[in-house]
Amino acid sequence: MRQALNVLGDRLEKPGKERLILTGTLSRVVNSQIVSSPARVILELPDRVRIEEQSGNQLRVIAFDGQNAWKAGGALNRADEEILESLLLDSAEHFFFSQMHGLATRFLGSRFRLDDGTASIYTDPFYDIYQITDQVPFGRATAGQPKLYYFNSDTQLLERVRYQIERDGSQIETEIQISDWRKVNGQQLPGRVARLENGREIVRLTINSAAAGQRVDDGIFVNPQSR
């Protein structure tokens, strides 16, 4: 686990790189159609996020301030909450901060394959897998959400997070895929984050540029209606 933390960079251990600003495109399935919008995602340690989508002349904003989730001009819907969870909680940063706060973690083993092990030729990555019982502070009511975090055994970068959610009485197999990792100012950052449900992609953030900087007390994560 220490090696995976080191590979990520020093932003979780040294001050000055607490805030990440990601710009790119957010694509989501709306009424069976893929809708893509320019987006900016601002993440700040620990566990704060603001997501801005440009839709025509309208700027849609959803955020989590560390305690409460909110949406500018309205109420969060399920899709909003799932985007917040995918980009904030299903991340390497959240995984390591969970360890710092004593969240129960179980190491399941190293060099797992994605298949059933019967193929004589296996070309996909091997994974070190950890299980945590996460506390999801918004959306579905649950005492704890078991999640599996898949770290690439060779690169030590987080590539998948898997868990089940219940919706309308059915179990939904959920997978977050994190890919296209690149180094920016000494920090490893993903270029793509996608959420799949029962094997179908429903949300994707494609990142075109990223920057890391120090924490700023500018109030952008706070719901303006609560001020």
CATH of the domain at 192: 2.50.20.10
Distance of CA 132 to the CA centre of its chain: 15
Structural domain span for residue 172: 2-226
Instruction: Collapse the DSSP code of 140 into the 3-class scheme (helix H, G, I; strand E, B; otherwise coil) and give the result.
Output: coil
* pLDDT of residue 141 exceeding 70: no
Cα separation, 28 vs 53, whole angstroms: 11
Looking at residue 224, what DSSP letter applies? G
How many domains does the chain contain in total? 1
Query: How much is the pTM?
Result: 0.94
Instruction: Convert the pLDDT of each residue in 67-90 to its tens digit.
Output: 999 999 999 999 999 999 999 999
101: left (phi over 0), alpha (psi -120 to 50) or beta: alpha
Going by pLDDT thresholds of 50, 70 and 90, the confidence category of residue 196 is very high
Instruction: Convert the pLDDT of each residue in 8-48 to its tens digit.
Output: 999 999 999 999 999 999 999 888 899 999 999 999 999 99
> Considering only CA atoms, which of 85, 226, 98 is closest in space to residue 165?
85
